[in-house]
Structure 1
């Protein structure tokens, strides 16, 4: 987590993903999940659908909502806003991430055969399971800290 400055620095934090990770990595992680999810046991698929659908994957129907409506209301300007999660949603997604880390459905490691066969691309963004898992670990840290503080999580582009 970063060290914000200013009069309200105690009310927010800044997290920049390591290695210059941009939204592109999140986009491709969602695509990699889409490529392999039908080949994953439901005990792993269900929590990953919840977690990824809450963060950056568009969902099986392509309509996952990444901005909690109670934060901005209907019709609010959302230019540059990629993600906005209420404290309750942060806690829910954090709990799902912890379940996966604790081995629910075999944990992320159980995804390897399906990922390697259906989603891996050594030349592409998030082209292997280890990179995919690191992105989820980063999100786990963000969700845990925000939940601890009772904060919202906001993702901005640009």
Structure 2
């Protein structure tokens, strides 16, 4: 059985205002509580209770809540990044570092000092997280990256596309990145952060 992920955008200040020993419970209730599964559709789920207006959950397209697409997208990017120019490669490294499990650990040419070890800000089992400040930085990165993505189509098709696993072609890779941008954009618009909880 694979790992699943529940991606939330959250009002960081709301979490920080709670007593430290209650913060994990707040997040877990948001992810897995009574408002967690009103439908199985991809995209956004907004809680219906007025007191729960501090978070929303997002389902990536055609992932069924699984974390495997994150792993496969990371695998595809690891193969593809050698064909990107250094500037684009660096921006995509940063944009995707939170999205892929273990961030940039597998990228040997990245200076470890540029990628500090990330422990969850709260005692909860996270697969990824970004503070509001980081969400704003990610939004700016996407604005620079997205117009350049098409140059990666040919090397992806030639060197990276595979029949096995998830994220098999360039369009599915871009769709996955666009989903991440949708999360980043919604968080940034509200001044919120992002949390991906292990299911």
CA distance 1:66–1:22, change in 2 (3 Å)? farther
CA offsets 1:47-91 (integer angstroms, 9 cap, x no match): 11111113215311497568466x33xxxx443x10111100011
CA contact (8 A) 1:68 1:86 kept: no
Compare relative contact order (CA 8 Å, sep 6+) and give the higher one, 1 or 2.
Answer: 2
The aligned counterpart of 2:52 is: 9
Shift of 1:28: 0.5
The aligned counterpart of 2:133 is: 88
CA contact (8 A) 1:85 1:154 kept: yes
Higher helix proportion, which one?
1
Calculate the aligned-residue CA RMSD, in Å.
2.2
Segments of 5+ residues of structure 1 without an aligned counterpart are none
Shift of 1:25: 0.3
Which structure: larger Rg?
Answer: 2
Q: Give distance in 1, aligned partners of 2:117 and 2:61.
A: 22
Q: Secondary structure of 1:153's match?
A: strand
CA contact (8 A) 1:56 1:66 kept: no
Segments of 5+ residues of structure 2 without an aligned counterpart are 1-43
Q: Give distance in 2, aligned partners of 1:132 and 1:154.
A: 21
TM-score by length of 1: 0.82
CA contact (8 A) 1:54 1:65 kept: no
TM-score by length of 2: 0.67
Q: Give distance in 1, aligned partners of 2:195 and 2:116.
A: 13
The aligned counterpart of 1:149 is: 190
